[in-house]
C-alpha cells in the first residue's frame, strides 16, 4: 500500500477537483452527526440527550443517581461529571444516549414520581433512537458513498449521499451499523479493546457504501480481515492530523468545516481503495462482495444504471415555479401556515427541553406571527432576486435579522420583557439575534421561497374559492382580535417571557 504522504497528496488533488460539493456534503453530515461546533446550541439534536431542569444532563449523572436509588447508598465523593474518565464515559455513550434517556425516564418515574416528565423523556429517547437508527447511521454510509464515487468521478453530486434511501437495502444498512455501534460500545468497556475494535470496524460503512446488500456479519468480518496489518497505520494517520485539529480549534472550527474534515474524508476514501485493492490481490475471504467496478473507472459522473442494485426513480413532487406571483388569499394562508408551524416548533422545543407546555409568543392564539411576517417580507420584498439564490440567502438573513432585532428591541423597550434571549450564543448581538439563528432563518427562507411556497400555493389553489375566502376572513378576524387584545395584555408566563429592564448601551457588544 502506498505510504501516507502519497495518500494525502492524491486526496488533496481529489478535494481540489470537486471542492464546493465536498464542502456541502461535509457540512451537512457534520450537522447530522452533531459535530459542528461553530455554534453553541441550546439543545443537542442528533444525540438528543434531553436536558431539563428536573434531571441530570450527563450520562454519568444518570447512572450514578439510578445506582444510588436502587442500592440505597450514596457516592458522597463521587463526581462523575468532571475529569478525563468522566469525559471518556460520556463521549463513548453519546451515540447510545437514547439508552440513558430510557434509564433516566425510569429514574424519574420510579424514584421522583414525575410521571409526565418521565413520559416526555421516554418519548425523546424513542425519537432519538429512531433518528440514530434510520437517519444518522444511514447518512454516514451515504457520505462514504459520495466520497467513494468522488474519488474517480470529479462531478459527483450532493444527492449521492441519499443513495441508501433509493435502494431496497435500508433495513440491512441500519441493522449492520447498529451491530457495529453496539460492539464498539461494548468494547470500550475495556478502553484498549475499544480502540482496537474501532480501527478493525473502520471500513464497515465503506463496505456497505459499495455493496449495501452484504450481510452485517459478513461486512464486519470483511472489515476486520482487510484491516489486519493496517490498524497501526490508520492510527498514525489520525495522529498526523493533530496539528490540523489544533488549527481548527484556533479558528473556532471554521477550518474544520472548510478544509480539515473534507480533506480527511478524501484521505480515508483513498485509503479504502488501497486496502481494498490489496485485499482482492491477496484473495482475502469475502472480498467477492466488493464488486462495484464502476467506482474504479474515471469519469465525470458515476453511471447510476450500472450500480449493482436498482435505484428508485426520484419523483419531482414539489412544484418549483418559484418566480410566480401569489394571490392575496394564498399569501394570507401562507402567513398563517408559517405562524402556526413556528408556534408548534417552539412549543415542542420547549416541551422536550424543559418538560412542560408553554404557549410561546406574545399572542394568546396558536401562532407566532413573527414567522408569518418574516415569510411575507421575503416573498414580497425579495421577489426580484429569486434567480440569484446566493444573494437571496444573504438578503433573507439581513431581512430576518432586522425584523427579529427590531421586534426584540420594541418588546424590551415598551413591554419590559424578553420573549427570547440569545445571551451566550456564538456571535449574538445584545441577546436579540445570533449567527446560529440567522443562518437557520436563511436556510428556512430559501426552502420556503424555492420549494415550500410554490408547493403550498398549489395546494391552496385546489381548495374551492368560497372556502378559501371564508377561511381567510375567519383566521384574519381571530388574529386581529388576538393582536388588539395582546397589545395591552401580552402573553406572559413561565417559559414564555422574562422581565427585562433595558440598559443604556453606549457601544455595540458582540459576544
Handedness of CA 180, 186, 189, 193 (dihedral sign): negative
Return the pLDDT at 108. 53
Comparing C-alpha atoms, which of 169, 175, 181 is closest to residue 145?
Answer: 169
Q: Which three cell numbers stand for residue 26?
A: 461535509
DSSP symbol at 429: E
Which of 16-20, 167-171, 332-336 holds the top average pLDDT? Answer: 332-336
Residues 283 and 385 both lie in one domain: no
Q: pLDDT grade, residue 127 (50/70/90)?
A: confident
- pLDDT > 60? residue 161: yes
Residues 421 and 345 both lie in one domain: yes
Residues 295 and 352 both lie in one domain: no
Percent of the chain exceeding pLDDT 90 equals 53
Residues 295 and 436 both lie in one domain: no
- pLDDT > 90? residue 222: yes
Output 248 or 147, whichever has higher pLDDT: 147
Residues 100 and 219 both lie in one domain: yes
Return the pLDDT at 175. 96
C-alpha to C-alpha distance for 395 and 340, rounded to whole angstroms? 24
Return the pLDDT at 2. 59
Comparing C-alpha atoms, which of 222, 197, 196, 217 is closest to residue 207?
Answer: 222
Return the pLDDT at 56. 41
The answer as to whether 37 is a domain residue is yes
- pLDDT > 60? residue 98: no
Q: CB within 8 A of 396, min separation 6: which ones?
A: 378, 382, 441, 442, 445, 446, 449
Residues 334 and 422 both lie in one domain: yes
Q: pLDDT grade, residue 335 (50/70/90)?
A: very high
Summary mean pLDDT of the chain: 82
Neighbours of 342 (CB within 10 A): 21
Q: Region 330-336: what's the mean pLDDT? A: 96
Q: CB within 8 A of 314, min separation 6: which ones?
A: 159, 166
Q: What is the pLDDT of residues 225-241, one digit of tens each?
A: 999 999 999 999 999 99
Return the pLDDT at 114. 56
Handedness of CA 16, 19, 25, 29 (dihedral sign): positive
Return the pLDDT at 180. 95
Q: What is the pLDDT of residues 359-386, one digit of tens each?
A: 989 999 999 999 999 999 999 999 999 9
Model-wide pTM > 0.75:
no
Count of domains forming the chain = 2
Q: CB within 8 A of 271, min separation 6: which ones?
A: 7, 234, 237
Residues 248 and 333 both lie in one domain: no
Q: What is the pLDDT of residues 181-218, one digit of tens each?
A: 999 988 888 877 888 999 999 999 999 999 999 999 99
The answer as to whether 392 is a domain residue is yes
Q: pLDDT grade, residue 314 (50/70/90)?
A: low
Output 80 or 267, whichever has higher pLDDT: 267
Return the pLDDT at 321. 80
Return the pLDDT at 57. 46
The answer as to whether 133 is a domain residue is yes
Return the pLDDT at 75. 45
Longest dimension (CA), the chain: 80
Return the pLDDT at 132. 87
C-alpha to C-alpha distance for 177 and 161, rounded to whole angstroms? 16
- pLDDT > 50? residue 52: no
Comparing C-alpha atoms, which of 425, 430, 369, 434 is closest to residue 397?
Answer: 434
C-alpha to C-alpha distance for 138 and 355, rounded to whole angstroms? 30
Output 271 or 105, whichever has higher pLDDT: 271
Return the pLDDT at 48. 35
Comparing C-alpha atoms, which of 207, 209, 223 is closest to residue 145?
Answer: 209
Measured between its terminal Cα atoms, the distance across the chain in Å is 49
Residues 115 and 180 both lie in one domain: yes
Residues 388 and 422 both lie in one domain: yes
The answer as to whether 506 is a domain residue is no
The answer as to whether 318 is a domain residue is no
What backbone torsions phi and psi does residue 212 show, to the nearest 5 degrees?
A: -65, -10
Output 258 or 102, whichever has higher pLDDT: 258
The answer as to whether 384 is a domain residue is yes
**CA 199-205-210 angle, 5° bins:** 125
3-state secondary structure 161-178: HHHHHHCCCHHHHHHHHH
Q: pLDDT grade, residue 68 (50/70/90)?
A: low
Q: Region 475-503: what's the mean pLDDT? A: 84
Cβ neighbourhood burial of 71 (10 Å; 0-12, 13-18, 19+): exposed
Helices and strands: H and E segment counts in the chain: 21, 4
Q: CB within 8 A of 84, min separation 6: which ones?
A: none
Give the SS3 label for residue 481: helix
C-alpha to C-alpha distance for 278 and 295, rounded to whole angstroms? 16
Q: What is the pLDDT of residues 385-434, one digit of tens each?
A: 998 888 999 999 999 999 999 999 999 999 889 998 888 777 789 989 99
Instruction: Please give the distance of CA 101 from its chain centroid, rounded to a whole number.
Output: 19
Comparing C-alpha atoms, which of 39, 469, 486 is closest to residue 256?
Answer: 39
Q: Bridge-partner residues for 481, per DSSP?
A: none
Output 11 or 305, whichever has higher pLDDT: 11
Percent of the chain exceeding pLDDT 70 equals 77
The answer as to whether 77 is a domain residue is yes
Return the pLDDT at 111. 52
Residues 191 and 232 both lie in one domain: yes
C-alpha to C-alpha distance for 485 and 503, rounded to whole angstroms? 28
Residues 332 and 299 both lie in one domain: no
Domain holding 384, by residue range, is 328-499
Residues 295 and 413 both lie in one domain: no
The answer as to whether 161 is a domain residue is yes
Return the pLDDT at 341. 92
Q: Which residues of 377-415 are buried (b: 16+ CB within 10 A; e: fewer)?
A: bbbeebeebbeeeeebbebbbebbbebbeebbeebbeeb
- pLDDT > 90? residue 478: yes
Amino acid at each position: 500500500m502506498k505510504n501516507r504522504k502519497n495518500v494525502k497528496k492524491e486526496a488533496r488533488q481529489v478535494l481540489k477537483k470537486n471542492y464546493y460539493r465536498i464542502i456541502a456534503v461535509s457540512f451537512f453530515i457534520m450537522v447530522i452527526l452533531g459535530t459542528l461546533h461553530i455554534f453553541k446550541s441550546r439543545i443537542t439534536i442528533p444525540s438528543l440527550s434531553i436536558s431539563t431542569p428536573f434531571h441530570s444532563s450527563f450520562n454519568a449523572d444518570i447512572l450514578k443517581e439510578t445506582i444510588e436509588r436502587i442500592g440505597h447508598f450514596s457516592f458522597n465523593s463521587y463526581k462523575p461529571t468532571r475529569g478525563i474518565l468522566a469525559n471518556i464515559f460520556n463521549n463513548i455513550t453519546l451515540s447510545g444516549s437514547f439508552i440513558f434517556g430510557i434509564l433516566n425516564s425510569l429514574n424519574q418515574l420510579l424514584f421522583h414520581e414525575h410521571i409526565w416528565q418521565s413520559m416526555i423523556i421516554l418519548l425523546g429517547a424513542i425519537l432519538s433512537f429512531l433518528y440514530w437508527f434510520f437517519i444518522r447511521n444511514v447518512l454516514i454510509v451515504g457520505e462514504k458513498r459520495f466520497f467513494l464515487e468522488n474519488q474517480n468521478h470529479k462531478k459527483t453530486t450532493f444527492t449521492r449521499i441519499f443513495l441508501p434511501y433509493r435502494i431496497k437495502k435500508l433495513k440491512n444498512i441500519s441493522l449492520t451499523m447498529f451491530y457495529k455501534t453496539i460492539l464498539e460500545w461494548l468494547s470500550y468497556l475495556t478502553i484498549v479493546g475499544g480502540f482496537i475494535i474501532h480501527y478493525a470496524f473502520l471500513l464497515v460503512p465503506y463496505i456497505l457504501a459499495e455493496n449495501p446488500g452484504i450481510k452485517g456479519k459478513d461486512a464486519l468480518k470483511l472489515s476486520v480481515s482487510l484491516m489486519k496489518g493496517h490498524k497501526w497505520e490508520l492510527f498514525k494517520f489520525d495522529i498526523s492530523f493533530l496539528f490540523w485539529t489544533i488549527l481548527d480549534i484556533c479558528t473556532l472550527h471554521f477550518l474544520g468545516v472548510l478544509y480539515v474534515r473534507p480533506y480527511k474524508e478524501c484521505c480515508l476514501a483513498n485509503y479504502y481503495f488501497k486496502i481494498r485493492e490489496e485485499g482482492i490481490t491477496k484473495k482475502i475471504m469475502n472480498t467477492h462482495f466488493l464488486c462495484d467496478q464502476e467506482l474504479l473507472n474515471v469519469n465525470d459522473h458515476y453511471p447510476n444504471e450500472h450500480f449493482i442494485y436498482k435505484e428508485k426513480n426520484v419523483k419531482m413532487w414539489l412544484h418549483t415555479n418559484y418566480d410566480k406571483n401569489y394571490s392575496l388569499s394564498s399569501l394570507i394562508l401562507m402567513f398563517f401556515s408559517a405562524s402556526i408551524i413556528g408556534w408548534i416548533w417552539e412549543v415542542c422545543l420547549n416541551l422536550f427541553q424543559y418538560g412542560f407546555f408553554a404557549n410561546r409568543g406574545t399572542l394568546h392564539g396558536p401562532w407566532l406571527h413573527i414567522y408569518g411576517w418574516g415569510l411575507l417580507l421575503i416573498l414580497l420584498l425579495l421577489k426580484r432576486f429569486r434567480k440569484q439564490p446566493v444573494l437571496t440567502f444573504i438578503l433573507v438573513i439581513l431581512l430576518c435579522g432586522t425584523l427579529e432585532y427590531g421586534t426584540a428591541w420594541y418588546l424590551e423597550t415598551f413591554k419590559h420583557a424578553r420573549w427570547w434571549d440569545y445571551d451566550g450564543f456564538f456571535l449574538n448581538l445584545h441577546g436579540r439575534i445570533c449567527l446560529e439563528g440567522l443562518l437557520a432563518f436563511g436556510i428556512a427562507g430559501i426552502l420556503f421561497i424555492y420549494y415550500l411556497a410554490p408547493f403550498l400555493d398549489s395546494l391552496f389553489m385546489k381548495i374551492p374559492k368560497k372556502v378559501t375566502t371564508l377561511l381567510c376572513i375567519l383566521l384574519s378576524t381571530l388574529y386581529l382580535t388576538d393582536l388588539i387584545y395582546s397589545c395591552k395584555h401580552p402573553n406572559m408566563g413561565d417559559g414564555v417571557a422574562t422581565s427585562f429592564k433595558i440598559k443604556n448601551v453606549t457601544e455595540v457588544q458582540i459576544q
